[in-house]
């Protein structure tokens, strides 16, 4: 079962992998033809064609039925600007012997028809609300027409996600839906066939540019400071100042409005000196300790998400502080990324669904008390099991990154050998923390976050080779977020050229 957002992401990912949507449309239309011919042997067919990809699927169906000797009439309900639909409309324009095209200019032209087959290619998965004209009339006419009625993907007039139909909707004899069952269809007792159309499994399993496109919203023009996320980074120590700084700067580059870095007093002063963009919170003491919890509580409460761990160190007092802070995060159910030293400090903890942990193989061993599996399929199963066990999202970093919430998993393979440099995990936590602050689910925040971090690093690697620094990744984060599809194409192109 799938919703429209996920389906759109998969289609974009599929195209990014080299399977164009035009090919998917071709496969969809041909599968509709096959399902029709498996049931009846029509002499004629009438296809009601609307907008978007569904209209294009109908045009492909028309062409394939005509190729089987069926006399086809296409009723066109307005201009379709979808690029693939335009291609397929042009493909049938000169098929005037086998296909009759009737462009509707006036509602009075819409009358019930009789044919062996009637195909509904009017309103697709993007439809919401009540059908407007000419579709309201066309749907009524379709239902009043006589013949074997087939809906492409889902009946026109029905919301693909909710199944709601506040206005006219098609009542078909058969629904041919694509790739997976649409959620909205479950509310009805339609005869539904699910047809695969050539989308590779990797378009679902691997995080891709489609996930970024459908999940990262453009800013509201009227938004005010704080609307796009407040992120608190708790980290740093007398020895380590760079790690929390990188996390915080990555959070800003990802689009957080406000980023606070809470660290012990002298460390906070150094962090503040790195960039005027950061808000440094000066905690008392030389290292973060249990005494700082009361100082931190108001900042934790104010933040939309919290990152804890980068550069915190593992002094005895800091380990105890990490446990106390994580317990408070659990009490508040605060979206959080727990990484690095904080993750080591809470080894064996059972966490909560709003938490994301981001271990590499060594940290995974410390936290879960076992080595990561060598075989990738066994490692995936291991991460799924451990995510369920610790009741949180696990992002295991590696050549292939694995993300799981204990129920499903996603993989990422957009990194490069240059990202073994220290600090790339800190930029990752900043990106994931911002997506959490912007209300993405922990699973999506982790999966999309590791994709953005890795692809940013790969863009830098394509320019600098194995000489990149975490700061180079920071500079590429906006490039990836502004145009994830083109950024991914550059990665694919470089890989092909260099192979």
Residue 428: in which H helix or E strand, if any?
Answer: helix 424-437
What radius of gyration, in Å, describes the C-alpha atoms of the chain? 27
Question: DSSP states of 27-58 as a string?
Answer: HHHHHHHHHHHTT---SEEEEEE-SHHHHHHH
Say what the alpha-carbon torsion angle 31, 37, 42, 43 is, to the nearest 10 degrees. 80
Q: Which of 397, 399, 396, 395 shows the shortest CA–CA distance to 416?
A: 399
Cis peptide before 134 (omega within 30 of 0): yes
User: Does 243 count as an annotated binding residue?
Assistant: yes
Q: Which of 297, 239, 295 shows the shortest CA–CA distance to 267?
A: 239
- Tell me how far CA of residue 161 lies from CA of 37, 185, 489, in angstroms: 29, 8, 30
User: Does 173 count as an annotated binding residue?
Assistant: no
User: Does 5 count as an annotated binding residue?
Assistant: no
Q: Are 278 and 271 in contact (CB under 8 A)?
A: yes
Cα 284 vs. chain centroid, distance in angstroms?
Answer: 41
Q: Which of 244, 287, 249, 245 shows the shortest CA–CA distance to 265?
A: 287
SS3 of 423, please?
Answer: coil
SS3 of 89, please?
Answer: helix
Place of tokens 């080299």: 18
User: Does 127 count as an annotated binding residue?
Assistant: yes
The pairing of beta strand 409-412 with beta strand 401-404: antiparallel
Q: Are 353 and 405 in contact (CB under 8 A)?
A: yes
User: Does 56 count as an annotated binding residue?
Assistant: no
- Tell me how far CA of residue 142 lies from CA of 13, 43, 114, 119, in angstroms: 35, 19, 10, 9
What is d(CA 264, CA 278) in angstroms, rounded to the nearest whole number?
A: 15
- Listed in sequence order, the DSSP H helices in 68-145 are 83-92, 135-144
User: Does 311 count as an annotated binding residue?
Assistant: yes
- Tell me how far CA of residue 434 lies from CA of 27, 32, 227, 236, 292, in angstroms: 39, 43, 12, 19, 24
Say what the alpha-carbon torsion angle 341, 343, 345, 346 is, to the nearest 10 degrees. 170
User: Does 124 count as an annotated binding residue?
Assistant: yes
User: Does 426 count as an annotated binding residue?
Assistant: yes
Half-sphere exposure of 261 (CA within 13 A, CB side): 37
Per the DSSP assignment, residues forming a β-bridge with 265 are none
290: tokens are 């249990």
What is d(CA 450, CA 321) in angstroms, rounded to the nearest whole number?
A: 27
User: Does 425 count as an annotated binding residue?
Assistant: yes
User: Does 156 count as an annotated binding residue?
Assistant: yes
User: Does 67 count as an annotated binding residue?
Assistant: no
Binding residues for K(+): 120, 156
Binding residues: 120, 124-130, 153, 156, 243, 311, 360, 425-426
Binding residues for (6S)-NADPHX: 124-130, 153, 243, 311, 360, 426
Binding residues for AMP: 425
């Amino acid at each position: 079962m799938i919703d429209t957002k996920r389906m759109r992401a998969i289609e974009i990912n599929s195209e990014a992998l080299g399977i164009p949507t035009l090919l998917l449309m071709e496969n969809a239309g041909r599968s509709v033809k096959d399902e029709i011919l498996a049931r009846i042997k029509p002499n004629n067919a009438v296809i009601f064609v609307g907008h978007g990809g569904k209209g294009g699927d109908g045009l492909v169906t028309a062409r394939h039925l005509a190729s089987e000797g069926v006399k086809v009439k296409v009723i066109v309900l307005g201009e379709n600007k979808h690029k693939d639909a335009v291609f397929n409309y042009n493909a049938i324009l000169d098929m005037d012997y086998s296909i009759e095209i009737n462009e509707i200019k006036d509602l009075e032209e819409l009358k019930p028809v009789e044919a062996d087959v009637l195909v509904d290619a009017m309103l697709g998965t993007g439809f919401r609300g009540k059908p407007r004209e000419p579709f309201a009339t066309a749907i009524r006419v379709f239902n009043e027409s006589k013949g074997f009625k087939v809906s492409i993907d889902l009946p026109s007039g029905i919301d693909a996600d909710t199944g709601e139909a506040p206005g006219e909707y098609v009542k078909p004899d058969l629904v041919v839906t694509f790739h997976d069952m649409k959620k909205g269809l479950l509310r009805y007792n339609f005869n539904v066939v699910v047809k695969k159309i050539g989308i590779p499994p990797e378009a679902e399993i691997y995080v891709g540019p489609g996930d970024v496109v459908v999940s990262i919203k453009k800013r509201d023009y009227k938004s005010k400071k704080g609307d796009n996320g407040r992120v608190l980074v708790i980290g740093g120590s007398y020895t380590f100042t760079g790690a929390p700084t990188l996390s915080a700067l990555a959070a800003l580059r990802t689009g957080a409005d406000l980023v606070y870095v809470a660290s012990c007093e002298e460390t906070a002063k150094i962090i503040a000196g790195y960039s005027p963009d950061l808000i440094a919170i000066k905690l008392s003491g030389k290292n973060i300790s249990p005494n700082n919890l009361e100082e931190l509580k108001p900042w934790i409460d104010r933040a939309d998400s919290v990152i804890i761990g980068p550069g915190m160190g593992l002094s005895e007092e800091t380990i105890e502080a990490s446990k106390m802070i994580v317990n408070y995060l659990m009490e508040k159910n605060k979206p959080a990324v727990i990484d690095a030293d904080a993750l080591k400090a809470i080894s064996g903890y059972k966490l909560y669904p709003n938490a994301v942990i981001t271990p590499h193989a060594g940290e995974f061993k410390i936290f879960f008390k076992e080595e990561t599996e060598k075989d990738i399929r066994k490692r995936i199963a291991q991460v799924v099991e451990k995510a369920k066990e610790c009741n949180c999202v696990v992002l295991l970093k590696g050549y292939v990154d694995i993300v799981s919430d204990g129920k499903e998993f996603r993989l990422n393979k957009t990194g490069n050998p240059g990202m073994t440099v220290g600090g790339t995990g800190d930029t990752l936590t900043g990106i994931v923390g911002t997506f959490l602050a912007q209300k993405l689910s922990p699973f999506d925040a982790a999966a999309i976050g590791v994709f953005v971090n890795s692809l940013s690093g790969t863009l830098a690697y394509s320019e600098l080779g194995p000489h990149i620094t975490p700061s180079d990744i920071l500079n590429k984060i906006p490039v990836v977020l502004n145009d994830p599809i083109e950024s991914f194409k550059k990665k694919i192109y470089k890989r092909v050229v260099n192979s």
